[in-house]
Structure 1
Amino acid sequence: MMSKAEIYLSVDIEASGPVPPEYSMLSIGACIVDDIETSFYEELKPISERFLPKAIKVVGKPMEYFAEHGKDPKIAMEKFKTWIESTTAEKTPIFVGFNAAFDWAFINWYFHTYSDKNPFDIAPIDIKSLFMGFEGCHWKDTRSSRIPDRFKGPLKQTHHALDDAKAQAQIFERILKHAQDRR
């Protein structure tokens, strides 16, 4: 099911709230879907002081940590773009996310604000939507806690951007395998 002209990159972010630029992207994790050890991780300095306490609780580190240890967003996004370009070579990078609408909004906004372009272009793949289409389930059944274990790999989603990127890459691969087996 994977194209030789495309390369699927699982991407996850952690943020201080629901939308950029009112809230900050605090970390980016990414990996190649079928080679999760080829990965990228970066923490970013906040661009806003705004945060939701429940978002910071999920992230597990205070905003002050990211202000002190995070990279400037321009440097972080250029580093991410360089990693994408060097990892994908001549292939088209395809953004894959679990609840891609959330992660995509931050990645797209940050690339267009702090870099010259978004290397993923305009169309991410959402794993939740893919699962719903293959299984014919309800949207509420696409939560990671409700996806059957046969679609999950050994890695767990921990709300660390790289851990989650790797775990969701395994889910994506297994859904694609399931789709091939049904043909």
Structure 2
Amino acid sequence: MTGNQEVFISVDIEASGPVPGVFSMLTIGACQAFRPEITFKCEMKPISDAFDPKALEVTDLSMADLKQRGLDPRAAMTAFADWLSSVKGPDETLVFVGFNAPFDWSFVNYYFHRYLGENPFGFTALDIKALYMGATGCTWRDTRSSKIAAHLSPSGSGTHDALQDAQYQAELFRLTWGVVGKRK
């Protein structure tokens, strides 16, 4: 099903804007892609006051609230790294899976390196949009979540809650994985 040496981890983040360092990662949600009930979630204190109002509008997150209740970024990334260690066997490799993975991975990579000095995922990520494009031969335009959902008929949907979105992405990944398997 997933290969003996790989643990696929669906990751979604919500951020205060488009780029790490200038803007803050506010929430992380993650689950094992083939066992989506195994989860991680945390909210984080912002690292700057910069935000794009549209980014916060879609998430209903408040910078002021997160400054109060969010985890310190170092503590959050330590907790995430610890969770990742707990779901991975000694001979297994973690694979970061995301929907538009370059965006989410850029924040996760930046925070892991800034606060812990290394990224447990290494320097790569698997993008569901690109996997779907390769599996179906569609155009890039047809890799929007609405188009993929119309084709694959997942039971879930995206909500802009990091954990729920990670679980939804995991479902899209599994459904796309099935399409890839049929082409072999």
TM range, normalised to the smaller chain?
Answer: over 0.9
Q: How does 1:35-50 map to 2 (within 5 A)?
A: 35-50=35-50
Contact 1:152–1:167 (CA<8 Å) still a contact in 2?
A: no
- Secondary structure of residue in 1 paired with 2:39: strand
CA RMSD of aligned residues (A): 1.1
Give CA-to-partner distance per residue, 1:55-113, whole Å, 9 cap, x none. Answer: 00011122111111110000000000000001112211000000000000000000000
TM-score (norm 1): 0.97
Contact 1:15–1:26 (CA<8 Å) still a contact in 2?
A: yes
One-letter amino acid of the counterpart of residue 110, structure 2: W
One-letter amino acid of the counterpart of residue 12, structure 2: D
Q: How does 1:6-155 map to 2 (within 5 A)?
A: 6-90=6-90, 91-155=92-156
In 2: Cα distance, 1:3 partner to 1:109 partner = 28
One-letter amino acid of the counterpart of residue 137, structure 2: G
Deviation at 1:152, TM superposition (A): 4.2
What is the aligned partner in structure 1 of residue 159 from structure 2?
A: 158
Q: Point out where structure 2 has 5 or more consecutive residues left out of the alignment.
A: none
Contact 2:28–2:162 (CA<8 Å) still a contact in 1?
A: yes
- Secondary structure of residue in 2 paired with 1:77: helix
Deviation at 1:175, TM superposition (A): 0.6
TM-score (norm 2): 0.96
One-letter amino acid of the counterpart of residue 95, structure 1: F
- Secondary structure of residue in 1 paired with 2:38: strand
Q: List structure 1 segments (4+ residues) > 3 angstroms apart after TM superposition.
A: none
Identity %: 46
- Secondary structure of residue in 2 paired with 1:146: helix
